[in-house]
Amino acid sequence: MTDPDCIFCKIVAGELAAEKVDEDEHTISFMDINPWTRGHALVIPKNHHKNLYEVDPEDLAHTAKAAQRLALRARDALGADGVNLLNSCEPAAWQTVFHLHVHVIPRYDDDPLRLPGQPQEPAEGELAAVAAELRG
Q: Is 98 helix (H, G, I), strand (E, B) or coil?
A: coil
Is residue 7 involved in binding ligand 5GP (CB under 6 A)? yes
Nearest partner of 8 among 91, 96, 68, judged by Cα: 96
Q: Which stretch binds ligand 5GP (CB under 6 A): 24-32, 69-77, 112-120, 126-134?
A: 24-32
Query: Which of 6, 9, 12, 18 contacts ligand 5GP by CB under 6 A?
Result: 18
DSSP code per residue over 33-61:
SS-SSTT-EEEEESS---STTTS-HHHHH
Nearest partner of 61 among 34, 106, 100, 22, judged by Cα: 100
Query: Which of 18, 45, 47, 48 contacts Zn ion by CB under 5 A?
Result: 48
Is residue 53 involved in binding ligand 5GP (CB under 6 A)? no
Active site residue 101: yes
Query: Which of 32, 68, 75, 84 contacts ligand 5GP by CB under 6 A?
Result: 32
Is residue 84 involved in binding ligand 5GP (CB under 6 A)? no
User: Considering just the CA atoms, what is the radius of gyration of the chain in Å?
Assistant: 17
What are the beta bridge partners of residue 20? Answer: 30
Is residue 102 involved in binding ligand 5GP (CB under 6 A)? no
Q: Which is nearer to ligand 5GP, 31 or 78 (CB)?
A: 31
Q: How far apart are CA 102 and CA 99, in angstroms?
A: 10
Task: State the residues that interact with ligand 5GP by CB under 6 A.
Answer: 7, 18, 30-34, 42, 88, 94-97
